[in-house]
Amino acid sequence: MCASGCSDACHLPHHVTLRIVHCFRSPVGGIFRHVRDLCEAQAAAGHDVGIISDSTTGGAFEEQLFADIGEKLSLGIIRTPMQRHIGLGDIGAARRTLGIVRRMRPDVLHGHGAKGGAYARLFGTFLRMTGSRVARLYSPHGGSLHYDADRLSGRFFFALEALMERFTDHILFVSQYEQRAYEEKVGHPRTPISLVYNGLGQEEFVPVREAADAADFLYVGMMRDLKGPDLFIEALKETEARSGRMLSAVMVGEGEDCAKYVSLAETLGLADRIKFLPAMPARKAFELGRIMVVPSRAEAMPYIVLEALAARKPLIASSVGGIREILGEDSPALTAPRSAQLAQKMAAAIADEHTYRALMPSEIELKARFSIETMLEKIDAAYREALAP
């Protein structure tokens, strides 16, 4: 039975090749990882796949990721300027992007994040008005759901989400937390929905061995306050006080606020003990530190937590978003996104690393819930339901 209540007979046959276009703004972090995995799996399944993304975000690392997957996508990768916030620049960006979409002639427009979701649904609706049958799908990935419902900006974005639902054929949530947040802030969806966890490939479940000179703690992620780099730095200072010894850390990632965190480390007297490095493949980064810390203030379903656990990395993570669904509600690895609570966990973990490592979820548990095969199967079913007569 499909999400809208019809029988499986309403779906398009699985042998039908689809033209699928993924639209998103920022080619960094979890959204980009999710789209790359999905594109690669869909292309391998025989579909024609393409990407539309912002051209002003990302650096050399992201350029290489685009290059690695580009040759596999028959519809290509087209990057065009897209601003983060709503403004007059959206008019020109929307016109350019609509022209790109029309040339790609998609059967499926799948928008990721707030900006990508809005573009995909608006352009899909325009194509329908001109005679094309296009499925319009939306994956929030947190996006506008991170806004505070008590603030005017939050109420504005949630009203936009409710309006955009009229132009949506299916919403794909990456966690129960994200679905609950949508229901609480926007309202109960009136369009079909699916819960589809992010998935990992078999090769990602191979343990990563730390380098001989690995730091005590490791942060991997975007350099922006939402992800908590400042909390990590402050917690490291407090962990030193709790443990009575100097500790080392590596912070891997990029972002416009990076200089601010370097300055904070200097202010707290940690400049010689925290090494800042640019973005790199996660498994390469995992070699650089023994205990992973994910101090995010907000998340949907972060890949970095899944990747770290699959690589058998012990970690400490904020109890926010879908992280609880990965680790389990009562996991001793969970803590509040505040420096004092993070430091308490970090001090306990560094005191007995062997015992702490044994507290992480097993490989069997992770594989049962978070595989690329399961993710692709559920998303494919949503596409075909949305396209069915």
Task: Give the per-residue pLDDT at 91.
Answer: 85
The enclosing H or E element of 171 equals: strand 170-173
Confidence grade of residue 117 (pLDDT, cut at 50, 70, 90): very high
Q: What is the pLDDT of residues 184-214, one digit of tens each?
A: 999 999 999 999 999 999 999 999 999 999 9
Q: What is the mean pLDDT of residues 233-240?
A: 98
The predicted structure's pLDDT at residue 12: 58
Q: What is the mean pLDDT of residues 13-38?
A: 89
Q: What is the pLDDT of residues 41-91, one digit of tens each?
A: 999 999 999 999 999 988 888 999 999 999 999 999 999 988 877 767 778
Please give the Cα distance from 58 to 29 (Å, whole number).
10
Position 144 scores a pLDDT of: 83
Which has the minimum average pLDDT: 24-33, 157-166, 275-284? 24-33
pLDDT, tens only, 292-334: 999 999 988 899 999 999 999 999 999 998 999 999 989 999 9
| Rounded Cα distance, 318 and 224, in Å | 15
Cβ atoms of 198 and 373 closer than 8 Å: no
CATH 3.40.50.2000 spans which residues of the chain? 8-199+371-387, 203-369
| pLDDT more than 70, % of the chain | 96
pLDDT at residue 139 greater than cutoff 50: yes
- The three-state secondary structure class of 118 is helix
The predicted structure's pLDDT at residue 15: 65
Topology annotation, domain 8-199+371-387? Rossmann fold (3.40.50)
Mean pLDDT of all residues belonging to the chain: 92
CA distance 218 to 220: 7
> Do the Cβ atoms of 137 and 116 come closer than 8 Å?
no
Tokens of 377: 């199967």
Mean pLDDT on 159-180: 94
pLDDT, tens digit (0-9, with 9 covering 90-100), for 335-366: 999 999 999 999 999 999 999 999 999 999 89
To the nearest whole percent, how much of the chain has pLDDT over 90?
80
Looking at residue 13, its pLDDT comes to 59
pLDDT at position 11, please? 56
Q: Cβ neighbours of residue 355 under 8 Å, at least 6 residues apart?
A: none
Pick the CATH number of 203-369 from 3.30.450.90, 3.40.630.30, 1.10.260.40, 3.40.50.2000: 3.40.50.2000
Which pLDDT band holds residue 6 (cuts at 50, 70, 90)?
Answer: very low
Per-residue pLDDT at 116: 93
Q: Give the per-residue pLDDT at 7.
A: 40
Nearest to 217 by CA among 261, 252, 269: 252
How many whole angstroms from its chain centre is CA 163?
24
**Rounded distance, CA 329 to CA 345, Å?**
16
Residue 29, C-beta contacts closer than 8 angstroms, at least 6 positions apart? 221, 222
At residue 9, does pLDDT exceed 80?
no
Mean pLDDT of 13-40: 89
Q: What is the pLDDT of residue 153?
A: 87
Q: pLDDT at residue 4 above 60?
A: no
Show the tokens assigned to 375: 């993710």
* Residue whose structure tokens are 């069997």: 364
